[in-house]
Structure 1
């Protein structure tokens, strides 16, 4: 079946979805009319049938026909005006002119590893309105100009392909079906939760009166769940047809990108984007938000912009290059809207190379297309981050790493601090060393959190568990003593976890000193000497949190 034919079938199936919903309602009305006409007298059962019909018809009308559809395009991000960003707008204008399509009325900078063109439409996409282009900041940070050109050419290539005349309709149908099914399931979940709450309340009353609770089933969600399952089966047929259309459209848009930006740049961008997505997720989790719970954020412009540091690290760059070469070889399912990237790259690399559009294809970083990039990234943070971000303290990367891990170290030390204060001691490493030297290790260990296995242990096993607890607690206090006034410091690394750098040869001596302090015959002298040499021998008590 040709792609254009499939698109027409998709339109017919979309109409069929609404006809199916209308047929359910009309059929119920007809059934009730026939019931009245054919009955010679009123039956109480008729009321039950009317109520059941209403219970089925109402959610169909409410969800399928009366619920306002969510807008398919996103409106987040930072607007980049033509006056402020002439370089980027000029690049987009040249690509759309070469493509022969209408350009966007608006460009937005978004935080996602994505680029897309959305369009205001009416009548399920048959009437088209203004277009909007969204460009992800990670693409500007991680791609070259040539690679970004290929991404933009791909997106606008969708609108140049004649097979896309009905593409907006298939997308609108996809959205309508998913919205209806999701809403029905949500209503069914609320119905089931309501029934479960009624049963729980009834059982509470029964137990209060000395009666046994009922083992009642709240059900699966009522008629809404049944309707959702019916529409799901119809949606599977629709998706099987439309997703095949959309996969072919992706290949066509890739060919268009090759014609404008060149084969190599298009293949390189496709290989790089999944690696960029992985890098962005890793970066946001391990770096940008690492200090969130400690009330810290990187400097303005660095929450998203700091990804450039990770991408520039030689080891990380090597990892990301390897990810781009080792693409997964997954077979597409019948409902996948995009072909696997490995298949798309293979199809692109099988094409003859082209010089691309004159003036495009530079190997410079794509971020150079923006004027005042750091300011724009800071403005993007203001728009996209949660309101709580405004109360966070902004620090540079080295301080962010050190202060975050220092806050974590303080948290790690809380159990032993509570144990010491519970025994009437001060919250310092010196106080714990004095207690260990005095033979009070067992008292401290008894107040530390321990596993069920260690709590049940006896004899030698108990002593080994206790030694492990004491060593871990002593190490947390020692680290806190060394780092609180920066005698030691956690150092930032973009290629591996932050490392604690201790003064002199303390790192080599510390393990043996800790072992000696918690031995059966405690020897605290090595650790005391290490702390004294590092200037941490008179650390102030650290209060334990309640």
Structure 2
């Protein structure tokens, strides 16, 4: 389909969205006028039906036409970089623009997501061009070579050359309008349901006070929920049509990237991007934010920049390389604007050999001047406001203190149960409880499954033993950590490693088994704890 044809389709679909809303309102007006004429004037029944029509038409007008949409700039937090600040990065972009004879972006914005994209401030539903923006995700700079980054950026210029950016303005406007409308109807429905539930609860309370059975009536979302369902059906049709166009655009942009940066560099970049996306998610959850609840963050600039440590670890690098070579094959999603990445890679690798190889092998991050400062600025503009109050510590200390805080939280139920028994909330307090035959009293105060709580006799003892053993292990580890005899060590290759005193791990399991036996023997574990100072 030609660019003009795609533009016409997108505009028609977007116009159809508003026509649907206007059609609902016009249909209601026609119904009201026809009702008035057929009834020969105003009657109570007419007024009731008019009120019902208004109840349907008002939310359509209110949500679709009167509610303001959020500006696009509100959705693009990041760091703007000028030519003076980052000449090497701008130089790469300018070279691509020159080779394609296209107008380059007016600004480059660095963002924390694994993404690169273009945005053009068009008018008349994207038909009149405007200011262009280029967005580059910092993880791409951390994980790609210069040659691969050139391929990614060349892909975005491929959208420029295909005039896809203007079309994207139309389809994006339609997507936002539909999602905004559907969300607005659901929000109104949720509010209506909450108000109705409050009224029903008040009625139920009055009926109970009078000794009467409460009504079984449940609150619903009203007409707004029905309208949300109607516009959702249209949204599915719109997304299927517009995203099918988007998938064709992606293949065309990949061909432009292969022409500009080379087949091999383009294929390599396509393989790495989903790998970087997975690595970024894992890194943020397992490393960067590990100490968030404890009030800790990595050093300044390392919340995002620390991904480089993970990517450079030999074991992780091997894992990621294997993933890149064996990308999962997914069936095309009719609502996805991008084809499956494996199919895009296959299409590029099927191109003839061009002799250019993988391109510049240097790290893409080298294109940035003072990358540490840029990464620090990115944290300022993208992290939650609470981040400003977190303590910044080195990675080794971050892991040690964060895991210690997790250990204290994990041992919390056992400490609470011991306090309830009038015993010290320490490992020695729990050992004293075992020696005094109070194991069941202790486990009865721990959170348990319904099945475990209902068990009696021998079944209760068998169900409680693993629970008791687990809690004893947790308070023992906490005691070792808080006395300085054990600590967690940072490992980029896997989970943080708990370093126990020499010889402790060998005897620990047997000591726990002895302490949790039918006839508890706490002496082995007490002996292990007595080998060094333990204060908790």
Tell me, in whole angstroms, the C-alpha distance in 2 between the residues paired with 1:181 and 1:428. Answer: 54
Closer, same or farther: CA 34–476 of 1 in aligned 2, 3 Å: closer
Q: Which ranges of structure 2 fall in alignment gaps of 5 or more residues?
A: none
Tell me, in whole angstroms, the C-alpha distance in 1 between the residues paired with 2:366 and 2:502. Answer: 44
Closer, same or farther: CA 165–525 of 1 in aligned 2, 3 Å: closer
Bigger mean CA offset, 258-267 vs 40-49: 40-49
Q: How many residues align?
A: 535
Aligned to 1:288: 288
Aligned to 1:81: 82
> Offset of 1:251 from its aligned partner?
0.7
> Offset of 1:220 from its aligned partner?
4.5
| 1:141 and 1:367 in contact (8 A); partners too | yes
Residue 22 (structure 2) pairs with residue 22 (structure 1): yes
Tell me, in whole angstroms, the C-alpha distance in 2 between the residues paired with 1:504 and 1:466. Answer: 30
Aligned to 1:261: 261
Aligned to 1:401: 399
| 1:435 and 1:441 in contact (8 A); partners too | yes
Equivalent runs, 1:359-398 vs 2, <5 Å: 361-398=359-396
> Offset of 1:497 from its aligned partner?
1.4
Tell me, in whole angstroms, the C-alpha distance in 2 between the residues paired with 1:430 and 1:240. Answer: 64
| 1:190 and 1:221 in contact (8 A); partners too | no
Equivalent residue of 2:130, what SS? strand
Tell me, in whole angstroms, the C-alpha distance in 1 between the residues paired with 2:139 and 2:423. Answer: 52
Q: Which ranges of structure 1 fall in alignment gaps of 5 or more residues?
A: none
Tell me, in whole angstroms, the C-alpha distance in 2 between the residues paired with 1:164 and 1:109. Answer: 19
Aligned to 1:532: 530
Closer, same or farther: CA 524–198 of 1 in aligned 2, 3 Å: closer
Residue 335 (structure 2) pairs with residue 307 (structure 1): no
> Offset of 1:458 from its aligned partner?
4.8
Tell me, in whole angstroms, the C-alpha distance in 2 between the residues paired with 1:444 and 1:177. Answer: 56
Residue 478 (structure 2) pairs with residue 480 (structure 1): yes
Closer, same or farther: CA 523–95 of 1 in aligned 2, 3 Å: same
Closer, same or farther: CA 123–195 of 1 in aligned 2, 3 Å: farther
| 1:258 and 1:356 in contact (8 A); partners too | no
| 2:244 and 2:337 in contact (8 A); partners too | yes
> Offset of 1:12 from its aligned partner?
2.3
> Offset of 1:460 from its aligned partner?
4.5
Aligned to 1:199: 200
Tell me, in whole angstroms, the C-alpha distance in 2 between the residues paired with 1:376 and 1:451. Answer: 50
Residue 98 (structure 2) pairs with residue 97 (structure 1): yes
CA RMSD of aligned residues (A): 2.7
Deviations 1:261-292 (A, max 9, x none): 11111111111111111111111111111111
Equivalent runs, 1:64-79 vs 2, <5 Å: 64-72=64-72, 74-79=75-80
TM (normalized to structure 1)?
Answer: 0.89
Equivalent residue of 2:300, what SS? coil
Aligned to 1:109: 110
| 1:146 and 1:265 in contact (8 A); partners too | yes
Closer, same or farther: CA 201–459 of 1 in aligned 2, 3 Å: closer
Match for residue 512 of structure 2 among 511, 514, 531: 514
Bigger mean CA offset, 416-425 vs 508-517: 416-425
Tell me, in whole angstroms, the C-alpha distance in 2 between the residues paired with 1:26 and 1:423. Answer: 72
Deviations 1:375-434 (A, max 9, x none): 221221122111111222221111111111212222233344344444554444345445
Closer, same or farther: CA 32–93 of 1 in aligned 2, 3 Å: same
Tell me, in whole angstroms, the C-alpha distance in 1 between the residues paired with 2:280 and 2:14. Answer: 37
Tell me, in whole angstroms, the C-alpha distance in 1 between the residues paired with 2:66 and 2:456. Answer: 69
| 1:125 and 1:172 in contact (8 A); partners too | no
| 1:406 and 1:480 in contact (8 A); partners too | yes
| 1:72 and 1:175 in contact (8 A); partners too | no
Bigger mean CA offset, 434-443 vs 211-220: 434-443
Equivalent residue of 1:490, what SS? strand
Equivalent residue of 1:300, what SS? coil
> Offset of 1:236 from its aligned partner?
3.4
Equivalent residue of 1:252, what SS? helix
> Offset of 1:249 from its aligned partner?
0.7
Equivalent runs, 1:156-195 vs 2, <5 Å: 156-162=157-163, 166-195=167-196
Closer, same or farther: CA 41–31 of 1 in aligned 2, 3 Å: same
> Offset of 1:258 from its aligned partner?
0.7
Tell me, in whole angstroms, the C-alpha distance in 2 between the residues paired with 1:256 and 1:478. Answer: 61
| 1:261 and 1:355 in contact (8 A); partners too | no
